[in-house]
Each structure stands twice: as C-alpha cells, then as structure tokens.
Amino acid sequence: MNETIQFGNLTIVIATDSKDVTYTFKGEVDENFRQKDVPRVKAQNIILVLEDITHFNSCGIREWVYMVRDFARIGKLVFKRCSVAMVDQINMVPDSISGGQVESFFAPYACDDHGEISKLIDMKKEFKSIANRTPPVMHCDQCSKELEFDALPGSYFLFCSSELSKAS
C-alpha cells in the first residue's frame, strides 16, 4: 500500500509491507508541515528515508520532533540516507531522532575539479572511522580524486556518539 501526502514544499510517500512502514520525505520541513496529519502506521520497523530533505525551519523542526516521538511509541525508528540538512538538525536538536537509529547519512565533501559533493556513509561499514571522528576516505565519481571533507568532523559527527553507543 502506498499513500502520498503533500504539505506545501514537502512530499511524504508512505509504503507498508508485512513488518515495516517506510516514510520517504522530499522537500522542506517548514510551517506548512502538520505532523498530526501524517498517518501513524504501527509496524515493527518505522523507516524514515530522508535524503531529499533540503531544509528545516523552527516551526518545522518542532512538528518533526512531535511526529518522531509518536512514531517511537509504535515501532523501532530507523533513519536512512539522512541528508546533510537532516544531520545538521540531529546535531542541533537530538530529539529529532527520538532515540531511533541512524543507519546511513550523507556528508559534505569537496572536489577541486567538481565542487561540493554529498557522499553516503553507512554507519556499520564506517564504524571505525566514525568512532575516531575521522571522515571516511571518499573519491570523486567523475575524476576518482580523493575528496576533502567539507565540515568540521568533531561537529558534523557529533550525533554519532549516541549512535556508536547503541551499536556497542
């Protein structure tokens, strides 16, 4: 079953199967987002796919926190493919994941020849690197050059402290 909900510049697609429900978010989480209008589907795993979240504002993050708190009461929260904007929110507002688990996230890198590039980091695969607050080595898909991490690792990976303690 699939359902699509629209809130201004935010689209949410909800897909369910026998044990999981997946909420895929695309756009801006802002004053148009009404968390009470997002169906709560009880499931073993509540998966939030967040690679296409581009922006949060203060009204949006407040509504977001209320929503994920509700979700956490009805299933295990799993956050996948968190955008850089989502990681920024997790670092500023830890309640934005309500005790859920971040499985993967994008991080900002830069290529001298191709500019800014977001690269996907898998928490399990890159466990050692993240535990040491060292950005994983990544390469440009276009020229194969090693990319430079384009943030302060201690600040960007701040949210990983709680994630790493869940994994140990």
User: Where does the pLDDT of residue 163 fall: very low under 50, low under 70, confident under 90, or very high at 90 and above?
Assistant: low
Percentage, residues of the chain above pLDDT 70 = 95
What was the pLDDT predicted at 129? Answer: 87
Token digits of residue 50: 């967040």
Domains along the sequence of the chain with CATH:
2-167 (3.30.750.24)
Question: Per-residue pLDDT for 7 more than 60?
Answer: yes
| pLDDT reported for residue 167 | 53
| pLDDT reported for residue 161 | 72
Q: Which long-range contacts (CB under 8 A, 24 or more apart) does 19-22 make?
A: 19/43, 19/44, 19/45, 20/44, 20/45, 20/46, 20/47, 21/45, 21/46, 21/47, 21/75, 22/47, 22/48, 22/49
Residue carrying structure tokens 């140990």: 168
**Which of these, 93, 91, 106, lies nearest to 156 by C-alpha position?**
91
pLDDT of residue 165: 56
User: Which tens digits make up the pLDDT trace of 109-138?
Assistant: 999 999 999 999 999 999 888 888 889 999
Q: Region 40-44: what's the mean pLDDT?
A: 94
Give the chain's mean pLDDT: 93
pLDDT score at 127: 85
Mean pLDDT of 146-157: 93
Judge whether residue 48 has pLDDT over 80.
Answer: yes
Query: Average pLDDT of 11-22?
Result: 95
E-assigned strand segments in 57-136: 76-80, 101-102, 104-111, 115-122
For the residues 92-109, what does the mean pLDDT come to?
Answer: 94
